[in-house]
Amino acid sequence: MSNLRVGGEGTLQARPPLLKLSNIVRSFMEGGRQREVLRGVDMELARGEFVALLGPSGSGKSTLLNLVSGIDAPDGGHLEVDGVRLHELSERERTRFRRDRIGFVFQFFNLVPTLTVEENLLLPLELKGAVGKDDRARALGLLDRVGLADRAEAWPDRLSGGEQQRIALARALVHRPSLVLADEPTGNLDQQTGAVVLDLLVELLRDAGTTLLAVTHAPEVASRMDRVLSLRDGRIVSPPDGPARQTQSDGPARQTETTP
Ligand code: ADP
Ligand code: MG
């Protein structure tokens, strides 16, 4: 069912991609010389698609997420997210874009320790503009969805890691982003807690039709995505054994299937 969310309006391919990167290049100075971290990255994510991004440490995964969120700008290439041509925007415009359209889930939760749970949840809405009564109701509704309705007044550091990440999930969605970027979302949780967070992540984003790009090393996470991509030598490669879901449910290497 999850793959047919846009069935009434046509196939996934019939709509413009939510995310489109063409020949993205990004270099950094390292020891007095340029190192090309991203050397022509091409990728597309359909609206509502879940994609895992794998790659060795230092391969440029975080760099790529920073470009997609508009925190950083590419040295070359085209980068379009939700119809916005990010590579043409100023830093100020990219900040606006990020606040409006992007939700983040981090490995270390990144809740603001001096704000209550509810205040943390309202933060993305405040950055976007004034917070109304409906917004507050929405935040509390999401808190309920992650099973923590009774913790609205709590301080984040009084909560367990799993609870903090459930709050962070609610926070990532409160402003109705079109894209959620997750960097090792279960990386700092034990297996059981990670499974609970993963279930919630999948459920909440599928319900909202939100697109997900998740950097992860965890097979449990990758197996819940629609597709798996790897970053190698500055470029995107699909793993030779195909999308994670097929590998999981249909056994390895169904060569007749192709990735869009
Ligand atoms: P990953 O997330 O895959 O582990 P990163 O994207 O964090 O990798 O980093 C890729 C490479 O780019 C590393 O060599 C890192 O040192 C370098 N790098 C990333 N950001 C910067 C920056 N702002 N300034 C200089 N070098 C950077
Ligand atoms: Mg990283």
Distance CA 155, CA 164 (A): 10
For domain 13-112+171-246, give the CATH number. Answer: 3.40.50.300
Residue whose Cα lies nearest atom 7 of ligand 1: it is 62
Cβ neighbours of residue 72 under 8 Å, at least 6 residues apart?
26, 63, 66
pLDDT beneath 70, residues of the chain: 1-14, 239-260
Write the pLDDT tens digit of every residue in 168-193. 999 999 999 999 999 999 999 999 99
Cα of 254 from ligand 2 centre, angstroms: 31
If one residue of 63, 181, 235 were mutated to test the ligand 1 pocket, choosing by the most ligand atoms within 8 A of its CB, it would be 63
pTM score of the predicted model: 0.87
Pairing state between β 235-237 and 50-54: unpaired
CB 105 within 8 A of CB 172: yes
Write the pLDDT tens digit of every residue in 199-237. 999 999 999 999 999 999 999 999 999 999 999 999 999
State whether the beta carbon of 65 lies less than 6 angstroms from ligand 1: no
Map tokens 């606006």 to a residue.
96
Which tokens go with 103? 């939700």
Distance CA 169, CA 8 (A): 28
Residue whose Cα lies nearest atom 23 of ligand 1: it is 28
HSE value, Cβ hemisphere, 13 Å, CA-based, for 151: 23
Distances (CA, A) of 155 to 4, 163, 188: 40, 11, 19
If one residue of 28, 33, 36, 69 were mutated to test the ligand 1 pocket, choosing by the most ligand atoms within 8 A of its CB, it would be 28
Q: Which ligand is nearest to the CA of 55?
A: 1
State whether the beta carbon of 37 lies less than 6 angstroms from ligand 1: yes
Distance CA 221, CA 198 (A): 7
| Predicted local confidence at residue 128, as pLDDT | 85
